[in-house]
Amino acid sequence: MNGKRRRAFFVCAAGGHLMELLQAEPCAEGLEIHWVVPKKNDAVVLLEGKTVHWAKDCVARVSSRLGFAKNLARLGAVAWDFLQAPLLLLKYRPDRIVSTGSSIAVPYFLLAKLMPGTRTCFVETLARVDGPSPTGRVCARFADLFLYQWEELAPFYPKGVYGGSVF
C-alpha cells in the first residue's frame, strides 16, 4: 500500500436506512469510515464516537400540499447536500461510497463518477419489495455495484445483483 489512508463514506438517511447501512460496517474493516447522515436523534445515538458529517434532512420531493415555506425548506436542504458533497469528497477523497438511500445519496454518486478511483455501492432499501425507490432508479445508473434485497426487483435493475437481506 502507498501509505494513503483508505476511506469509505457511508451516506444515508436516518431511521431504517441508517439501520440497514450499519449492518454493512463490518464489511469496511480496515477502512476509515466517514458517515454522512442527517442529524436526527437516532443517528446521534447510533453514531456516537464515529466520524460523522451531519447533512440536512433532505427530502427531494416538492408537494403542493406542503405550502411555499416547507417546499422552500426542502429545496434548501437539497441545495445544502449538493454543496456539502463536493466539499467533503474533495477534502477526504474516499475510495468507496456506500449508501442505502435516500435522496442524500444522489449528489455523492453523481460526483463520484468524476473522481478516479472512487467506487460506489448502492443497496436498495429492504422496504422496497414491489418496485424501485426514486433514489434507487437514479443511483442504479451511476453505481459501480448495485444490490437489491428482494428477487422481485430483478426486472427493475437488470445490471443489479440480488444480495438477499442485510439483516
pLDDT band at 102 (very low <50, low <70, confident <90, very high): confident
What integer best gives the mean pLDDT of the chain? 89
Domains of the chain: 7-162 (3.40.50.2000)
pLDDT > 90 fraction of the chain, expressed in percent and rounded: 76
pTM: 0.88
For 36-63, the pLDDT digits (tens) are: 999 999 999 999 999 999 997 655 555 5
> Are 50 and 33 contacting, i.e. CB atoms less than 8 angstroms apart?
yes
Contacts of 127 (CB under 8 A, 6+ apart): 16
Instruction: Give the integer Cα–Cα distance in Å for 112 and 95.
Output: 9
N- to C-terminal Cα separation, the chain: 33
Instruction: Give the integer Cα–Cα distance in Å for 104 and 56.
Output: 8
pLDDT of 164 over the 60 cut:
yes
